[in-house]
Structures are given as structure tokens and as C-alpha cells.
Amino acid sequence: MRIDYGPRRTSMRPYITHEEATIDAFRRNPGLAAAYLNAVLADGTYEELASVARRVAKAFEAPSQPK
């Protein structure tokens, strides 16, 4: 038996990525972002620093202006 659930929503995903979850957590808790960045600065590799810097920048970037 096949159940019809109606039209599929292709624009909605049933999950978010780790990257998206981390960025969202930084937006909700700037202190977490600062602590995470400080921990990586103290004891992280260059690759880890690049990754956390990208996430922090993405979390706090200014919204784009409509044209």
C-alpha cells in the first residue's frame, strides 16, 4: 500500500548541517563564539583557526542590503 503525503517540499530539508548549527549557536550566544575562538587561538592548528574564523565571521556578518 502506498501512502500519499501530498506534494513534496523540495526547498525544506529535514536537517541542518553542523556548520549551520554552529553558526546559529554563535549568533544566539556570542560568549560561546568568543570562548571557542580563544580556545582555538590558544591550542589549535592553522586549519582549525581558519574554520572557526569563517564560522564566527558568518555568524556576525551584516545582512546584505537589497538592491
CB atoms within 10 A of CB 6: 5
Residue 13 banded pLDDT, cuts 50, 70, 90: confident
pLDDT of residue 64: 73
DSSP 8-state secondary structure symbol assigned to residue 16: -
Ordered by start, the domain boundaries in the chain are 18-59
Is the pTM higher than 0.85? The answer reads: no
Query: Closest Cα to residue 52, out of 31, 37, 41?
Result: 37
Better-predicted residue by pLDDT, 21 or 4: 21
Q: Which residues lie below 8 Å from residue 26, measured CB to CB, with a gap of 6+?
A: 32, 33, 36, 55, 56, 59, 60
